[in-house]
Chain A
């Protein structure tokens, strides 16, 4: 069997997994979700979801990934097959763990490139003429995205240039492999991200009262807007589902990337302490830093009612409209804006390289393709797949990709792996495997949580979603009539990609069986 790469250090793999988990959502999605779902009371279902969903899934993925890596498999089809050898169909369920990351990668890289562009614009005062109001900043963003022709941009050329640069940076990192590429990136990008995050947090929390006529507008009231609890919201099921969704997004569980990262661990390398550390690192960035930047800054400059409207306008507006506008109002604003976009870009690239890893690992492990060739194939295919997300941005393509790749597949994949791990592989064997070389022991009640609570919660989420929205999503009832053709086109492409991946899995297994019969492996 081909010798696979290994991580260079324990800290390296922890930072890489934390880097995969820490993304734009930590700074943009979490504060908006909290503000809209009960303020401080949101933290109760959030912690419950962390304990009953996030941490169990994190432990399962680290353990299953390291187990599968022992058999030369770095992706879900092979890992699932290693865990249930008698079932010849289980490998096809694992296709979700390659498909999902590819789908997220093809739109996430484009959004990441906006951050690089805006970091450049902040230093060159490119958007200075658009900072008079929120509307002009929105217009600037729409021009950059090519949605409307306006005085700021004549077309998509600038956005495309930054996309190519960002895409190339991602490909370069994965080209250098696990140890020299991804681990090296994580070991300098994550500490830098922490430093930038802490500096910006301190700056925002020390803004004080910027308009003496309105003393209520200050960062402490901004924290209050986010943390003052509305416990009546806890009776609302939607709040609990939003918390569960946020924990999923934030920890990168249910995607397949942690499986792949963990497959490069050594046989007796700890997974329990490493998994917990990466999860807690992510939580620190989200709950401590992420919650202390955008909302307190928005309340300080726009008041509680303004911040409410901004929060409702979504994460993109917070990042690309509100924050640059705020930074123009403080001394050295260009430097602060650059630091903000650099922070988000680092959060983005450490996540996007992880999304590229499963597909590349699949080609290397199952087809014995060299790293260089696997990266080239992945780069060429995904570059083509990115184009609809760029050119049809305003026509529902990204929302569609985000729904199937970044939402539905996450819950589906997590449900498959937790059932496989605790019921088919067996909780006793799984528990022993988890503690092989472990630096700390998992409390025993987690056996019960992993076997009963986590699968029940996941199946409930899937069931509730299907009952409430499933049919209307499938029938495109929630899609604007003018976007239905592009959404249908996107769905056909997605279905085709999934089918191609299934065929590749079938081909890989036939090839492996043939080689086994010939005594070549």
Chain B
């Protein structure tokens, strides 16, 4: 594989894995599970 191929692979994987790690970090670092208290079905 050429250096440009490696660069694109590492950059792409880095962006995706980084974003995924950020998302799951935010989810699991919340004290509660983030759900609202109100049910969605009582507004009409």
Which residues of A does B touch, CB under 8 Å? Answer: 1-4, 6, 9-11, 14, 39-41, 43, 47, 66, 69-72, 220-221, 223-224, 227-229, 263-270, 273, 276-277, 280-281, 283-284, 287-288, 437, 439-440, 521
Contacts and interface: CB of A to CB of B under 8 A. Distances in A.
Interface string B4-44: 11101100110111011001101100100111111111111
Given A70-B41, A221-B1, A277 B6 contact: no
Contacts of A273: 23, 26-27, 34
A242 to B, nearest CB: 17
A439 B30 contact: yes
B16 A267 contact: no
A265 B39 CA distance: 8
Contacts of A287: 12-13, 16
Contact of B2 (A2, A224, A439): A224
Contacts of B12: 43, 47, 287
A224 B9 CA distance: 9
B5 A227 contact: yes
Contact of B4 (A72, A228, A521): A228
A160 B30 CA distance: 48
Contact of B36 (A40, A71, A269, A288): A269
Contacts of A6: 39-40
28 contacts: A1-B42, A3-B41, A4-B40, A6-B39, A10-B27, A11-B33, A14-B27, A69-B40, A70-B41, A72-B41, A220-B1, A223-B9, A224-B2, A227-B6, A229-B4, A263-B40, A265-B40, A266-B36, A266-B39, A273-B23, A273-B27, A273-B34, A283-B19, A287-B13, A288-B13, A288-B17, A437-B36, A440-B26
Given A1-B41, A269-B35, 7 more contacts: A1-B42, A4-B41, A10-B34, A266-B39, A276-B23, A277-B24, A439-B26
A40 B8 contact: yes
Interface residues of B, number: 31
Interface of B: 1-2, 4-6, 8-9, 12-13, 15-17, 19-20, 23-24, 26-27, 30, 33-44
Given A40-B5, A229-B5, A280-B20, A268 B43 contact: no
Contacts of A229: 4-5, 8
B36 A267 contact: yes
Contacts of A72: 41, 44
B35 to A, nearest CB: 5
A362 B15 CA distance: 38
Contacts of B2: 224, 228
Contacts of B1: 220-221, 223-224, 227-228
A43 B23 contact: no
A1 B19 CA distance: 39
Contact of A1 (B8, B33, B44): B44
Contacts of B35: 9-10, 266, 268-269
Contacts of B15: 47
A437 B37 CA distance: 10
A70 B40 contact: yes
Contacts of A437: 34, 36
Contact of B9 (A40, A69, A265, A440): A40
Given A39-B5, A70-B41, A269 B34 contact: yes
Top 8 A-B residue pairs of the complex, sorted by shortest distance between their CB atoms = A268-B36, A224-B1, A277-B23, A40-B8, A227-B5, A228-B5, A280-B20, A4-B41
A202 to B, nearest CB: 15
B43 A70 contact: yes
A223 B5 contact: yes
Contacts of A267: 36, 38-40, 43
Contacts of B26: 273, 439-440
Contacts of B36: 266-269, 437
Contact of A270 (B5, B9, B34, B41): B34
B18 to A, nearest CB: 9
A2 B43 CA distance: 11
A283 B15 CA distance: 10
Contacts of A284: 16-17, 20
B6 to A, nearest CB: 7
Contact of A11 (B9, B13, B27, B42): B27
Contacts of A66: 40
B19 A280 contact: yes
A229 B8 CA distance: 8
B5 to A, nearest CB: 4
A266 B12 CA distance: 34
B43 A71 contact: yes
Nearest to A4: B41
B20 to A, nearest CB: 4
Contacts of A228: 1-2, 4-5
